[in-house]
């Protein structure tokens, strides 16, 4: 051991030397370390754009035959500059503390996106790429070239100049409107006033962190840590309704106008590119292949889940009517409350009872540990990393399959609400990876409880599930971005595969062994009892059919607004129609869902991604050994076959490589009907009563 010290010391000195060197050299990967104000951000982005132009000039200057080295490499370098620039601009648009910086982040996101569109419509670059002979001995590069050329054709590169100008203007408009939609939500936090009596049913720590106003009322906000407990636990129907309306109405009516303009621009773009509807264009390069196939998926999953969801509703209504005989129906604003009450009464599970075991800081450590064991990586905290907000935690990630551990990237966790910060839960790349040249970096943007002095940040179990979900994205991004091309990272895979690795990780949440490794009472340190885990699993399995129906509702809405003339769509009425089709819960007045449906900007018509990927994720998970989730052979096989390839092959091949066949809906069907044993499992028994392992 001792003989190692000089090596460590030498490395430490080297690290300090490198660090001080890095402080002098301009940081070309992280805008926030150099851009101390909006003007500095602008010049930082302009430097990236100048570098991109230099790469393209180099590419176009080549005389003679085109090769991967002389053409695809500078093309990928150019794409890399744009990706770094837009990731950073987007980061500061959604996360910077000062509004002027968020404004500049928004403006720069628009500028870089416009440069991206320039590149996507550049005929000379397209012709240069098309002239490269497809390499026979390098399938990843071959796929990169073929896929890039396909994207060029879908972008309209072969149209005449005037048409390309129109396409460009529409793409710019689409980006600008999408950013405006998100900004209206980030800046649109609303307050809901409640009397002390109306807070009945809410957890004590929730009430304790809200101080009463002089008149005795309480001010709640539409940020997630305030909203979710009201919808789940609040006994007062009036407060639940006001909170529900406020949450969906944060950016209403502003965002309805933005959405209409956005949909019109998308439809115009589809028309110019020769598609009847935008949904056809948006699915042309996806696994699903066409909008008609999306409808088929909706019908297929609906056939499986609708009868079960109807039964669940009838049971829930009958239950609620015993408590409240005058109740005619359960509304969309009330179902979470009644499901919670049902779980307490019939499944002996109270969602509040698990919160003390999930204080935020402990959950974060537990999820990092779980990911370490599952994916064979380790996380080293960087205490003095320069970040955009002091609350952000930074970790270097090492591959533990290499000896010594090999540095493979960096992650940033920005996990609690702030004024003006993006209000949703997401994972994004910060820096793309290029083997031997640039390590990938990714981040989580969440709005969980905690992060405030004195508040332990006790999490609800679905918040912990969300954390697992987002971490699945992060690992996919990191492990999948170790290849030779910047444009072939984990997140560059077909968009409708992106939710599979995240939803797969959600399933880990049910393992008692995993939960007990970090679910410890925040006051006593006692591990979450096995019988409580068993009841929690039974409780969270209740309502899966309803959950699927809800996903179909969003899927259908996102498809329908993209497959018909936009001008006359009444968003609220359409949403209510879809509610009738997919849920038995009754609509409430003043529900402006579409004005806060953030997926409509990023996923457009393709919300189906979640449903398709749930089918895939559950099928993936059925191949894990439930007795040995983390250390069993499936975990490493999954890392190698599904995550590590990134976008080096079509997603359908990733699925087949792991499953030995295409996905099938039968695993999802079993998952939906899964019944958990509410008695604690003995360690040697299967921990859940889930479907048996299927032989491949």
Query: Residues interacting with Zn ion, by CB under 5 A?
Result: 499, 502
Chain centroid to Cα 450, Å, comes to 20
* DSSP string for residues in 401-415: TSSSPEEEEEEEEE-
Query: Which lies closer to Zn ion via its Cβ, residue 84 or residue 500?
Result: 500
> What's the closest the beta carbon of residue 502 comes to Zn ion, in angstroms?
4
> What's the closest the beta carbon of residue 512 comes to Zn ion, in angstroms?
25
**How many other C-beta atoms lie within 10 A of the C-beta of residue 142?**
16
Q: Which token pair is 544?
A: 């899966």
Q: How far is residue 288's CA from residue 271's CA, in Å, rounded to a whole number?
A: 21
What are the two backbone dihedrals, phi and then psi, of residue 606, each rounded to the nearest 5 degrees?
Answer: -100, 40
Query: Which lies closer to Zn ion via its Cβ, residue 110 or residue 613?
Result: 613
> What's the closest the beta carbon of residue 51 comes to Zn ion, in angstroms?
31
For residue 247, CA distances in Å to 124, 240, 252, 423 come to 48, 10, 10, 11
Query: Which residues have CB under 8 Å from 528's CB, separation 6+?
Result: 354, 357, 515, 516, 519, 520, 521
> What's the closest the beta carbon of residue 44 comes to Zn ion, in angstroms?
29
Q: Indicate the residue whose CB is closest to Zn ion.
A: 502
Tracing tokens 């609303």 back to the chain, one arrives at: 190
Query: Which lies closer to Zn ion via its Cβ, residue 79 or residue 503?
Result: 503
Q: Residue 253: is the preceding peptide bond cis (ω within 30°)?
A: yes
Closest CA to 330 of 231, 193, 202, 221: 231
Query: Which lies closer to Zn ion via its Cβ, residue 189 or residue 428?
Result: 428
Quick one: DSSP state of residue 1?
-
Query: Which lies closer to Zn ion via its Cβ, residue 178 or residue 245?
Result: 178
Residue 453 burial class via C-beta count within 10 angstroms: exposed 0-12, middle 13-18, buried 19 and up: exposed
Quick one: DSSP state of residue 575?
H
> What's the closest the beta carbon of residue 458 comes to Zn ion, in angstroms?
24
Contact 415, 359 (CB under 8 A): no
Query: Which lies closer to Zn ion via its Cβ, residue 350 or residue 496?
Result: 496
Query: Which lies closer to Zn ion via its Cβ, residue 486 or residue 502?
Result: 502
> What's the closest the beta carbon of residue 473 comes to Zn ion, in angstroms?
6
Closest CA to 439 of 449, 452, 429, 448: 429
> What's the closest the beta carbon of residue 612 comes to Zn ion, in angstroms?
13
Q: Which token pair is 80?
A: 């890399």
Radius of gyration of the chain (CA): 25
Longest dimension (CA), the chain: 83
Q: How far is residue 353's CA from residue 645's CA, in Å, rounded to a whole number?
A: 41
Query: Which lies closer to Zn ion via its Cβ, residue 343 or residue 476?
Result: 476
> What's the closest the beta carbon of residue 602 comes to Zn ion, in angstroms?
10
H or E element that contains 443: strand 441-445
For residue 536, CA distances in Å to 524, 525, 531 come to 20, 19, 8
Query: Which residues have CB under 8 Å from 422's CB, separation 6+?
Result: 94, 95, 182, 185, 186, 445
> What's the closest the beta carbon of residue 470 comes to Zn ion, in angstroms?
7
> What's the closest the beta carbon of residue 394 comes to Zn ion, in angstroms?
22
Query: Which lies closer to Zn ion via its Cβ, residue 330 or residue 363?
Result: 363
Query: Which lies closer to Zn ion via its Cβ, residue 246 or residue 445?
Result: 445
> What's the closest the beta carbon of residue 469 comes to Zn ion, in angstroms?
6
Contact 494, 651 (CB under 8 A): yes
> What's the closest the beta carbon of residue 446 comes to Zn ion, in angstroms?
11
Query: Which lies closer to Zn ion via its Cβ, residue 393 or residue 499?
Result: 499
Query: Which lies closer to Zn ion via its Cβ, residue 106 or residue 502?
Result: 502
Query: Which lies closer to Zn ion via its Cβ, residue 420 or residue 495?
Result: 495
> What's the closest the beta carbon of residue 609 comes to Zn ion, in angstroms?
9
Residue 274 burial class via C-beta count within 10 angstroms: exposed 0-12, middle 13-18, buried 19 and up: exposed
What are the two backbone dihedrals, phi and then psi, of residue 349, each rounded to the nearest 5 degrees?
Answer: -130, 125
Query: Which lies closer to Zn ion via its Cβ, residue 312 or residue 499?
Result: 499
Closest CA to 55 of 39, 83, 75, 38: 75
> What's the closest the beta carbon of residue 427 comes to Zn ion, in angstroms?
7
Q: How far is residue 638's CA from residue 442's CA, in Å, rounded to a whole number?
A: 20
* DSSP string for residues in 624-677: S-TTSTTTSHHHHHHIIIIITTTTSS-HHHHHHHHHSS---THHHHHHHT----
């Amino acid at each position: 051991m001792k003989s190692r010290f000089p090596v460590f010391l030498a490395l430490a000195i080297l690290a300090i030397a490198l660090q001080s060197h890095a402080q002098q050299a301009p940081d070309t990967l992280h805008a926030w370390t150099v851009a101390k104000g909006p003007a500095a951000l602008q010049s930082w982005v302009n430097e990236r754009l100048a570098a991109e132009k230099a790469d393209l000039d180099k590419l176009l200057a080549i005389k003679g035959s085109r090769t991967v080295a002389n053409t695809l490499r500078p093309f990928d370098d150019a794409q890399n500059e744009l990706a770094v620039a837009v990731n950073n601009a987007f980061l500061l648009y959604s996360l910077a503390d000062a509004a002027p910086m968020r404004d500049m982040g928004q403006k720069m996101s628009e500028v870089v996106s416009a440069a991206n569109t320039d590149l996507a419509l550049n005929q000379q670059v397209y012709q240069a790429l098309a002239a490269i002979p497809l390499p026979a001995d390098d399938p990843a590069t071959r796929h990169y070239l073929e896929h890039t050329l396909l994207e060029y054709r879908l972008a309209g590169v072969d149209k005449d100049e005037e048409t390309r100008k129109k396409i460009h203007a529409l793409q710019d408009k689409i980006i600008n409107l999408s950013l405006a939609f998100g900004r209206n939500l980030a800046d649109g936090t609303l307050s809901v006033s409640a009397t002390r009596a109306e807070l009945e049913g809410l957890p004590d720590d929730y009430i304790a962190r809200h101080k009463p106003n002089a008149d005795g009322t309480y001010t709640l906000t539409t940020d997630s840590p305030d909203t979710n407990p009201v919808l789940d636990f609040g006994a007062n129907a009036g407060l639940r309704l006001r909170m529900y309306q406020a949450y969906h109405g944060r950016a209403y009516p502003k965002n309805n106008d933005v959405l209409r303009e956005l949909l019109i621009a998308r439809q115009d773009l589809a028309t110019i590119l020769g598609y009847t509807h935008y949904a056809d264009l948006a699915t042309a390069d996806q696994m699903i292949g066409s909008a008609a196939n999306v409808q088929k998926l909706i019908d297929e999953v609906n056939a499986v889940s609708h009868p079960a969801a109807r039964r669940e509703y009838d049971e829930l209504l009958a239950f609620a009517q015993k408590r409240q005989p005058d109740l005619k129906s359960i509304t969309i604003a009330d179902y979470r409350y009644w499901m919670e009450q049902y779980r307490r009464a019939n499944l002996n599970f109270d969602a509040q009872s698990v919160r003390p075991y999930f204080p935020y800081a402990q959950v974060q450590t537990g999820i990092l540990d779980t990911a370490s064991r599952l994916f064979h990586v380790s996380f080293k905290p960087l205490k003095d990393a320069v970040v955009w907000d002091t609350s952000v935690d930074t970790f270097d990630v090492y591959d533990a399959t290499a000896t010594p551990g090999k540095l493979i990237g960096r992650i940033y966790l920005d996990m609690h609400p702030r004024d003006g910060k993006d209000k949703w839960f997401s994972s994004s790349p910060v820096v793309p990876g290029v083997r031997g040249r640039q390590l990938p970096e990714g981040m989580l943007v969440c709005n969980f409880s905690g992060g405030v002095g004195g508040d332990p940040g006790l999490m609800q179990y679905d918040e912990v599930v969300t954390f697992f979900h987002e971490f699945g994205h992060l690992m996919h991004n990191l492990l999948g971005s170790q290849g030779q091309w910047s444009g072939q990272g984990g997140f560059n895979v077909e968009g409708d595969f992106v939710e599979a690795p995240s939803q797969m990780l959600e399933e880990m949440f049910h393992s008692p062994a995993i939960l007990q490794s970090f679910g410890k009472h925040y006051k006593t340190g006692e591990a979450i009892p096995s019988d409580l885990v068993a009841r929690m699993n039974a409780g969270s399995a209740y309502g899966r059919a309803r959950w699927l129906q809800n996903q179909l509702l969003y899927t259908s809405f996102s498809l329908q607004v993209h497959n018909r003339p936009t001008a006359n769509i009444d968003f609220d009425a359409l949403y209510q129609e879809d509610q009738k089709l997919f849920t038995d819960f009754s609509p409430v007045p003043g529900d402006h869902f579409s004005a806060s449906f953030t997926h409509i900007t990023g996923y457009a018509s393709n919300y189906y991604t979640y449903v398709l990927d749930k089918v895939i994720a559950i099928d993936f998970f059925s191949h894990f050994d439930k007795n040995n989730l983390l250390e069993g052979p499936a975990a490493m096989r999954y890392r190698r076959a599904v995550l590590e390839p990134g976008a080096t092959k079509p997603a359908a091949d990733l699925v087949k490589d792991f499953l030995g066949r295409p996905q099938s809906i039968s695993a999802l069907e079993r998952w939906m009907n899964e019944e958990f044993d509410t008695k604690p499992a003995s360690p040697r028994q299967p921990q859940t009563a889930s479907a048996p392992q299927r032989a491949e």
